[in-house]
Chain A
Amino acid sequence: MIKSRLFNSVIRTLTGIGHRVTERIWRLGAGARLFFLAIIYSGESFKRFQLTMREVYATGVMSLLIIIVSAFFVGMVLALQGYNILQKYGSSDAIGVFVSLTLVRELGPVVTALLFAGRAGTAITAEIGLMKTTEQLSAMEMMAVNPIARVIAPRFWAGVISMPILAALFSMVGILGGYLVAVPLIGVDDGAFWSQMQANVDVRLDIMNGLIKSVVFGVVCTMIALFQGYDAPPTAEGVSRATTRTVVISSLAVLGIDFVLTAFMLAS
């Protein structure tokens, strides 16, 4: 009797795990399918570029405030921490290089992507989820208008366009914040700050690698947000869960992919 109960319990647990695993794999496949469909039906997004530009405004321009304010504080903190470490080794003049490389290589793309997921990603998921809940996507389909071409693809390209621009702005504002702390506040030499940065930041190795990261994060974060909204159950709870999943999955994906990309970039 006890053996039989134990056996049933093990079977139930294994079935549950199997169900969860197959569901995850199914969702991954469905997400990949949506990604390819968004690429295939991208013609409209470029033919009627104003559709994409409207979304660039909603996702990119509307995220500017949070990006700029965060970048400013991140840059200032970097300068404070950097100076604290570098002065121990008598290299406080290298503060400019420290701030700029940290921002351009890592924090610019990564923090921008995390903030983008929280600000624009959630908005995209909620919007698409609500469009589904209120039958707007069905209405489009019934009008013989493909919702992937009209709704998904423009938002996808808007995210891909916005992310590198936002990351570049993040790095620029961050460096400015670092400068304000390092030079006027701490008293690091103005010329040393900029000249060391100019001498040590490489366009191909540092800036291009940062740019590649932010484009990849743009694709990943936007696609996760779009899929979660498109796949959300058409209920209030479904949309709310999808919005949460967007932030969690995007954040984890960004951090994981950042490690892989950094490893490849440093190795090469």
Chain B
Amino acid sequence: MTNNIVEIDNLSFGYKGRLLHKGINMVFPRGKVVAIMGGSGSGKTTLLRLIGGQIAPTHGEVRVEGAVVHEQDRDGIFKLRRKMGMLFQHGALFTDLSVFENVAFPMRELTDLPEAMIRDLVLMKLNAVGLRGAHVLMPTELSGGMARRVALARAVALDPSIIMYDEPFAGLDPISMGVICGLIRSLNDALGATSIIVSHDVKETFLIADYVYFVADGIVAAEGAPHDLMQSTLPFVHQFVHGDKDGPVPFHYPADNYRAELLQTPTT
């Protein structure tokens, strides 16, 4: 058995005639925290959706535990997804259910566990993210950071072997960011899972990731351990890691000549 739990092999994906990924290769070894980084619109979240089988690649394949995801039927994909947990960018908590019910949701839907055991498991998961005391609250009563932590507890409710995080640090205050950052690493190690983080927050991601892929222009532009990437002299990686305004990724969106456009007579 290969040591890689997820493998992306020569993957291309596009829609509406535009190719978003052009032959991407990635591997995600068991037990590691691997980050996929890149600018907004570079197709990072789409990669998570391809791994989860929500969309199919145009060319190439994604393998999860050796099974080609897009070749599975609906039952096969659902079987694979039971090994996955996913934290969505804004939590995606069910707004009509309480915090407790949200975490209990996958247990109730996918297992035949008795209610007493579900209760204990939910409280344990909530305790792990520090929100056992908030189990009666509704999602609308939670702060952004708390909602993200509840969503994390729900994502690991069934002890998945793969945990995917879609922009886990986006829009959080520094304290919440630190909390989520620590939780991702500690839950990954405690569960013996593999974590895939999609993010553009360099500092936090580099702190917990074992390996990082940089995606730009539809390809893997760079890859390596965070320490090596910090020292990288590759122009794109340097610009991204240090947050330079201009570089290989231009400040301006492609446009016509500035002067000519200003002098143009409006047609409407």
Interface string of B86-109 (1 = CB under 8 A from A): 101110111100000000011001
Give the total number of A-B pairs whose CB atoms are below 8 A apart: 44
Interface centre among A130, A131, A139 (most CB of B within 10 A): A139
Inter-chain contact B92/A145, CB cutoff 8 Å? no
Residue in contact with A139 in the complex, picked from B78, B79, B82, B88, CB distance below 8 Å: B88
Q: How far is the CB of A10 from chain B (nearest CB, A)?
A: 22
- Output the nearest chain A residue to B151 by Cβ-Cβ distance: A139
Q: How far is the CB of A237 from chain B (nearest CB, A)?
A: 19
Q: How far is the CB of B264 from chain A (nearest CB, A)?
A: 23
Q: In the assembled complex, which residues on chain B have CB atoms less than 8 Å from the CB atom of A134?
A: 90, 92, 95
Inter-chain contact A139/B110, CB cutoff 8 Å? no
Q: Does B84 contact A (CB under 8 A)?
A: yes
Inter-chain contact B94/A136, CB cutoff 8 Å? yes
Number of B residues contacting the other chain (C-beta, 8 Å)?
19
Find residues 122-169 in chain A having any chain B CB closer than 8 Å to their own CB: 130-131, 134-136, 138-139, 141-146, 150
Residue in contact with B88 in the complex, picked from A131, A135, A146, CB distance below 8 Å: A135
Overall SS of chain A's interface: helix
- Given A134-B92, A135-B88, A135-B92, decide whether A143 and B105 contact each other with a Cβ distance below 8 A: yes
Interface string of A19-44 (1 = CB under 8 A from B): 00000000000000000000000000
Q: Report which A residues bind B (CB closer than 8 A).
A: 130-131, 134-136, 138-139, 141-146, 150
| A and B contact pairs by CB, cutoff 8 A, 19 listed | A130-B95, A134-B90, A134-B95, A135-B90, A135-B92, A138-B54, A138-B88, A139-B92, A142-B52, A142-B54, A142-B81, A142-B84, A143-B105, A143-B106, A143-B110, A144-B110, A145-B106, A145-B109, A150-B109
Can you list the 10 inter-chain pairs with the closest CB atoms, starting with the nearest?
A139-B92, A135-B92, A144-B78, A144-B81, A142-B86, A145-B109, A135-B88, A143-B106, A144-B82, A136-B92
